[in-house]
Structure 1
Amino acid sequence: MTHRPGAEQHPRPAPWKDTAHAPARTCSSPRPALDRLRENIIAGRYRAGDRLIEKNLESEYGVSRTVIREALRQLESEKLVEIVPNVGPRARGLSYGDVVNLYQERPALESAASRLAAQRASISQLKALRTGFDHPTQRATEVDVADLISEENAFYDAPIESSGNPIICEMRASAQARIAQLLFTTLAAPDRVPHMLAELRRVVGAIEAADPTAADGASLSHVDSAVQLALRLIAHLRSTEGNLT
């Protein structure tokens, strides 16, 4: 690993809470139901357009109608649920346009985080980055897609925190649920996981080498590979299922 003179001396912002894969919550009480409902929509248990009937959800998740309504409002803000007049809440799927919009935002955020991490990361943050990468790499063949998404989200915590820029975290958090919904599609594609790990290995190596230009380029290459695959998959789903526009 390249020596990083002064890395520990970079001014750090005030402590902040990373919510990269835990979008803001309205209160503590609906959290278990909110998390489970979010995970089920992301995983496709509720398909795009499926009605989310409050009475049924109340029974399924074992919580009050108030908690369900709060959870649905939160998921509407995350764009996983849409409230249709005279119909009620429905699960919201990804459109081709959603994918384009997400990947217009994601390259800027992730490349900025990686570039800044290469410039600012402390030794302890570099260790956290390496651990965050090695753990999913070792378990990639043992876990299902949902767990792998959690592993990847956890990996991204390290460069985002190391960037020292809480705005990057806040912006990524606002789209995190939709990104996870898309990852569930792309990571299920044949051979995507080993390719993803190879791409992320280059990102980690560049950050460890304190090379911001290489880190920026590796991140952009990683996101570009993901977006090309995502657009192909979403276009295929749109043509076969007719529910994506």
Structure 2
Amino acid sequence: MAIGATENTLGSHITETLRNAIVCGEIKPGTKLSEPKLAKEYSISRGPLREAIRRLESMKLVKYVPRGGVRVTTLELPQVIEIYHIREALEGKAAALAARNITDEGVDKLKHLLDLAQKHMATSGGAYLQADVDIDFHYQVIQSSGNQMLIHTLCEELYYLIRMYRYQAALQPSRSHNAFKEHQHLVLALEQRDEELAELIMRKHIVRARENIEKQLKS
């Protein structure tokens, strides 16, 4: 294997490793990423490591702080609310396009995700399976839109920030139940290929999620 190809493979691997550690909270918000320490910990050279950090920066999971080095992003309430406003508009459109373009197999996949979520809720006191199923449900809807610009913006630029927030703030059981029902309604709209209804359901779903965040934080 060529040296360049090897470095790209190592860069992708370390990007995924660091990304998951940041999203899951193993590397805490605000933590400074030390290149020497990370290079030693993961037995990797500086080249692939720096490429991984650049990729993490493009995902907005880390940022350069003047005289503070590279630090893990700390999500503040105003930023979270901004993300949800963006999601409301863009995911609403993605849902409408998904109703037009989704395949029968795509609908079946969403139903399967809901089945997994329902089983998890039944054994976890009503908690939605946030880390994988909830966000992946939205991910699959967005992918089904067929619009590459929407897919890039939502699934690459915002996806991991949303997952990061979900790990930090689990839904209350009451909101989990409502979110699950809203997902069910969306699948029905997609199955019926009703673009207008799918967009309306998705927008209201995200508005309610944002309002729930604001309510929890105020209390």
**TM-score bucket (shorter structure):** 0.7 to 0.9
Q: Which residue of 2 aligns with 1:139?
A: 120
Q: Are the equivalent residues in 1 in contact too, given 2:130–2:166 (CA < 8 A)? A: no
Looking at structure 2, the residues matched to 94 and 126 of structure 1 have their Cα atoms a distance apart, in angstroms, of 33
Q: Which residue of 1 aligns with 2:18?
A: 37
Q: Are the equivalent residues in 2 in contact too, given 1:78–1:175 (CA < 8 A)? A: yes
Q: Equivalences for 1:75-224 in 2 at 5 Å?
A: 75-140=56-121, 148-172=130-154, 173-224=156-207
Q: 1:161 deviation in Å?
A: 3.1
Instruction: Give the SS at the match of 1:30.
Output: helix
Q: Which residue of 2 aligns with 1:57?
A: 38
RMSD: 2.7
TM-score (ref. length: structure 1): 0.74
Runs (4+) of structure 1 moved beyond 6 Å? none
% of aligned pairs identical? 27
Instruction: Please identify which structure carries the higher helix content.
Output: 2
Change in Cα spacing, 1:87 to 1:231, as seen in structure 2 (3 Å) is same
Looking at structure 2, the residues matched to 27 and 73 of structure 1 have their Cα atoms a distance apart, in angstroms, of 13
Query: Which amino acid in 1 is paired with 2:141?
Result: P
Range moving further from structure 2, 131-140 or 80-89: 131-140
Change in Cα spacing, 1:233 to 1:44, as seen in structure 2 (3 Å) is farther
Change in Cα spacing, 1:29 to 1:235, as seen in structure 2 (3 Å) is farther
Looking at structure 1, the residues matched to 11 and 185 of structure 2 have their Cα atoms a distance apart, in angstroms, of 39
Q: Are the equivalent residues in 2 in contact too, given 1:99–1:231 (CA < 8 A)? A: no
Q: 1:94 deviation in Å?
A: 0.7
Q: 1:159 deviation in Å?
A: 2.2
Looking at structure 1, the residues matched to 46 and 78 of structure 2 have their Cα atoms a distance apart, in angstroms, of 33
Query: Which amino acid in 2 is paired with 1:169?
Result: I
Unaligned runs of 5+ in 2: 1-6
Query: Which amino acid in 2 is paired with 1:193?
Result: S
Which structure would you say has the larger RCO, counting Cα contacts within 8 Å and 6 or more residues apart? 1
1:184-241 residue CA offsets vs partner (Å, 9 max, x unmatched): 23335454433321221111122112222221121112101211223345567xxxxx
Change in Cα spacing, 1:51 to 1:204, as seen in structure 2 (3 Å) is same
Q: 1:46 deviation in Å?
A: 2.7
TM-score (ref. length: structure 2): 0.81
Instruction: Give the SS at the match of 1:83.
Output: strand
